[in-house]
């Protein structure tokens, strides 16, 4: 068996759910996360070692990257860290259970047990636009902007002549 040939997802039995695991900082890359999600994926599970960030803003910055992957794919994302911001993010980008119960601290020793509501298996939600088309929308917006700027520049030169 060849390792690392393609992304794989995993099936849980109880509860019955399928998850795709972007590991460590793979959640920073939209295309890689999108390619790991198929029509049967119920949630994303990001396992990361954030201890080397220390108690810095980088913990939150990395979590925001995960937030975008959840929204782009229309799936909840569970984020587990060895030291730092362990939480879950719903498909609309809301961060849940970031702090330990009874505190405003993300750095306490211990573990968290949370309930992540999953979408019912039927009817399945249609894939998001980003999941279906990837970066085409963003590149298209960039192209329209460049074309608009070029048109404005040409129009300005014509009016001066």
The yes-or-no verdict on residue 141 having pLDDT over 80 is yes
> Structure tokens of 147?
């074309």
What CATH number labels 10-127? 3.60.110.10
Residues 79, 96 contacting (CB under 8 angstroms): no
User: In 3-state terms, what secondary structure has residue 17?
Assistant: strand
* Better-predicted residue by pLDDT, 89 or 51: 89
- 3-12, 107-116, 133-142, 151-160: least confident range: 3-12
- The mean per-residue pLDDT over the stretch 36-64 comes to 90
> To the nearest 5 percent, what fractions of the chain are helix, strand and coil?
40, 15, 45
Euclidean distance between CA atoms 10 and 40, whole angstroms: 10
SS3 144: helix
pLDDT at 86: 93
For the chain, the structural domain boundaries read 10-127, 131-161
Give residue-wise pLDDT tens across range 91-108. Answer: 999 999 999 888 888 888
């Amino acid at each position: 068996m060849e390792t690392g040939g393609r992304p794989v997802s995993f099936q849980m039995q109880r509860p019955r759910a399928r998850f795709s695991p972007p590991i460590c900082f793979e959640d920073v890359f939209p295309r890689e996360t999108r390619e790991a999600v198929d029509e049967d994926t119920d949630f994303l599970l990001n396992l990361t070692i954030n201890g080397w960030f220390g108690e810095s803003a980088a913990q939150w910055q990395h979590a925001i990257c995960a937030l975008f992957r959840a929204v782009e794919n229309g799936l909840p994302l569970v984020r587990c860290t060895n030291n730092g911001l362990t939480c879950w993010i719903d498909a609309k980008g809301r961060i849940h259970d970031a702090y330990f119960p009874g505190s405003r601290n993300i750095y306490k020793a211990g573990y968290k047990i949370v309930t992540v509501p999953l979408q019912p298996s039927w009817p399945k939600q249609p894939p998001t636009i980003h999941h279906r088309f990837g970066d085409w929308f963003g590149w298209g917006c960039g192209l329209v902007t460049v074309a608009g700027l070029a048109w404005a520049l040409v129009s300005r030169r014509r009016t001066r002549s």
